[in-house]
């Protein structure tokens, strides 16, 4: 495939990231080749290096961009609420919606974490812990105010995250439930879990 006419700079960079995301999601990081990636965006393999240094850099940039976007969007969703129950409702709605609308990014962030080199791995894990800490803080605040009853806030948070993230594996937009239905059901389950008997 020949280079796309007029492709340059930021436009080409975005095309490379979009194609890289699709290829890694479909084939896996180890199986994806830079030759495939170059072909997807209409570049010669040698020209690809004008935009990315290595395949590892591409993976890191995809995961880092995903985590930065996730954290920024979550902070916006949680802004201007001081009530733990409201914050937890917002967290559930945000997490479910984000994870069903950005399935490819979420999938590779979980499945390809193992493919990162140690320094890159530490950065992404640190960002993931930041996301987890936001949920832990909501639960701890609810416990402190007497509206949540959990014995261990981090364990409760990890359980909630595992349940919510599971929607990526089975939810279909054309299925029996709408996204709004799903958010309502998961919100009810999460609130029941943290409020206790």
What are the residue ranges of CATH 1.10.357.10 in the chain?
Answer: 55-195
Architecture of the domain defined by 9-48: Orthogonal Bundle (1.10)
> Can you give the pLDDT at residue 153?
96
How does pLDDT run across 97-120, given as a tens digit for each residue? 999 999 889 989 989 999 999 999
Q: Are 44 and 38 in contact (CB under 8 A)?
A: yes
CATH fit for domain 55-195, picks 3.40.50.150, 3.40.50.300, 1.10.357.10, 1.10.10.60: 1.10.357.10
The answer, yes or no, to whether residue 196 has pLDDT greater than 80, is: no
User: What's the Rg (C-alpha) of the chain?
Assistant: 20
> Can you give the pLDDT at residue 171?
85
pTM metric for this prediction:
0.87
The answer, yes or no, to whether residue 183 has pLDDT greater than 80, is: yes
The answer, yes or no, to whether residue 163 has pLDDT greater than 90, is: yes
The answer, yes or no, to whether residue 1 has pLDDT greater than 70, is: no
152 Cβ contact list (under 8 Å, min separation 6): none
59 Cβ contact list (under 8 Å, min separation 6): 20, 24, 29, 108, 112, 115, 116, 120
> Can you give the pLDDT at residue 9?
62
How does pLDDT run across 125-146, given as a tens digit for each residue? 999 999 999 999 999 999 999 9
Q: Specify the long-range contacts of residues 72-76, CB closer than 8 Å, at least 24 apart.
A: 73/98, 74/98, 74/131, 74/134, 75/134
Q: Which DSSP symbol is given to 186?
A: H
What are the residue ranges of CATH 1.10.10.60 in the chain?
Answer: 9-48
How does pLDDT run across 34-82, given as a tens digit for each residue? 889 988 888 887 778 788 889 999 999 999 999 999 999 999 999 988 8
């Amino acid at each position: 495939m020949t280079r796309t006419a007029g492709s340059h700079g930021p436009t080409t960079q975005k095309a490379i990231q979009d194609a890289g995301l699709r290829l890694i999601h479909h084939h896996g990081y180890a199986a994806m080749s830079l030759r495939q990636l170059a072909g997807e965006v209409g570049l010669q393999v040698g020209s690809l290096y004008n935009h990315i240094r290595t395949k590892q850099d591409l993976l890191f940039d995809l995961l880092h961009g995903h985590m930065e976007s996730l954290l920024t969007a979550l902070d916006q969703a949680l802004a201007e609420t001081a009530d733990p129950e409201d914050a937890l409702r917002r967290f559930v709605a945000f997490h479910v919606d984000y994870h069903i609308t950005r399935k490819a990014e979420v999938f590779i962030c979980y499945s390809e974490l193992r493919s990162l080199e140690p320094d890159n791995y530490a950065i992404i894990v640190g960002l993931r812990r930041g996301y987890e800490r936001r949920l832990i803080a909501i639960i701890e605040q609810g416990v402190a105010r007497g509206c949540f009853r959990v014995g261990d806030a981090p364990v409760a948070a990890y359980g909630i995250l595992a349940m919510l993230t599971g929607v990526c594996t089975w939810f279909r937009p054309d299925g029996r439930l709408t996204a709004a239905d799903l958010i309502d059901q998961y919100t009810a389950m999460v609130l029941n879990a943290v409020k206790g008997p």
